[in-house]
Amino acid sequence: MTDPNWFYSALAQSAAAIVGLIGAFVTSRVMMMASERSRIENRINEINAEIKGLEREKHTGTVHYSNNVIREEERMRELFSKNAILKELMNQLNQIVLPKDFKWLIISLIYFTTVGVILPLCLLPITPEQHLFWKLIVLIFFITGLLAVFIYIFIEIKQITNKKTIA
């Protein structure tokens, strides 16, 4: 009878590679979203500071009243412009969110790691007789873990494409 370790080792390596690739993609996406969010928040803070400066600015008593009126109109236009930019940035900030079912991706990755990596590695020292019992069970768990991850991915792709066709 052949050594059963190759079977469990191959399953564990395959699952680890899949989890690693998906995990790396998810991590890079989350980091990119956090970076974009931080950039927008910094820009919002800058604009808020500019708005406060404009609001504090009072027209000074110059010689000509018309100069004060012109300066006040410029200040009001600038305030209006800054508020419009601020509103757009707030809208962009509110759009940076993780997918609503993101927790299911994490749960499916944890499940796949457990049944696809940890379980097969725990079964490496079994005897060939025990292998006959565990082989089908481990394979079924591996397939269910793989399906869980890919079903989530396909559902997300479908939701993204539906949002784009609606918009």
- pLDDT digits 0-9 by tens, 79-129: 899 999 999 999 999 999 888 888 999 999 999 999 999 999 999 999 888
Contacts of 98 (CB under 8 A, 6+ apart): 30, 33
The pair of three-digit structure tokens given for residue 45, joined into one six-digit string:
């803070």
Phi and psi at residue 40, in whole multiples of 5°? -65, -40
- Among all chains, which residue has been given the structure tokens 């800058």? 46
Burial 37-50 (b: 16+ CB within 10 A, else e): eeebeeebeebeee
Which pLDDT belongs to residue 66?
A: 60
Taking 70 as the threshold, does the pLDDT of residue 41 lie above it? yes
Chain mean pLDDT for the chain: 88
Is the model's pTM score more than 0.85? Answer: no
Q: Average pLDDT of 39-55?
A: 91
Contact 52, 156 (CB under 8 A): no
DSSP letter for 115, please.
I
Residue 61's pLDDT is: 47
